[in-house]
Amino acid sequence: MIRAAIIVPASGMVDAPFVPPPVTTANPRFRATLLVLTPAGHAYLASWDVRVRTEPPPVELMVSTPFGSSAVEVEGRTTPYAKVRVDGMPVELNAGGRFATTVELPPWPTEILIEVGDGLGNATRRSVTGVGVFDYRGLPWVPITVALAALVGAVLFLRVPRSSPLARRDEDDDAILEELEPD
């Protein structure tokens, strides 16, 4: 805070530094007030709400893969003033801070880097994983495994030959199992 008189030169412009008081909260808010007194004795008062950005903007992300498409959809929400880059490409934000874009990915898990910055050096870097063509990671694998095990068991059960008596041998059949004695 500045509580001193600054004399404005003839150009009518002056730079006045604003030094916020030390605060332990993240992104604190302040009220800045400027009082201008003219040599004629007129006073002008102006006030601003000031927010000091000390932390990167928050970000919420969601990744989805339309069936059969290698284009993975990346959607998210952050603060409206932020700048967003998905895999190095800038993404436009709407007035509410929402964004959506697509990234071409192969059919195996691949990381996507999302960078959200406030333009003041504060940035959030998040990495999400996407799968192109078909995202099999969200499937209910326990029921699928149980169903496949039951199916395999049923197939094996139905294909096992039934126990039946041995076929009768003819009288002239000389195929007899004999015990072989070791030499």
Q: What one-character DSSP code corresponds to residue 133? A: B
Residue entry with tokens 């007899």: 176
* pLDDT at res. 71: 87
Neighbours of 144 (CB within 10 A): 11
Cα angle, residue 1 at apex, residues 47 and 50 outer, rounded to 5°:
45
* pLDDT at res. 2: 60
Distance CA 115, CA 61 (A): 11
- Give tens-digit pLDDT for 47-66: 888 877 888 889 999 888 88
Q: Which residue has the higher pLDDT, 32 or 91?
A: 91
pTM for the structure as a whole = 0.58
Q: Which tokens go with 111? A: 């990381």
Supply φ then ψ for residue 96, to 5 degrees. -90, 0
Q: Is the pLDDT score of 173 beyond 80?
A: no
* pLDDT at res. 89: 93
Q: Is the pLDDT score of 40 beyond 90?
A: no
* pLDDT at res. 114: 93
Contact indicator for 97, 82 with CB cutoff of 8 Å: yes
Residue entry with tokens 């870097």: 125
Q: How confident is the model at residue 165 (pLDDT cuts 50, 70, 90)?
A: low
CA dihedral 71, 76, 82, 88 (to 10 degrees): -20
Over residues 65-79, the mean pLDDT reads 88
- Give tens-digit pLDDT for 88-134: 999 999 999 999 999 998 988 899 999 999 888 889 999 988 888 88
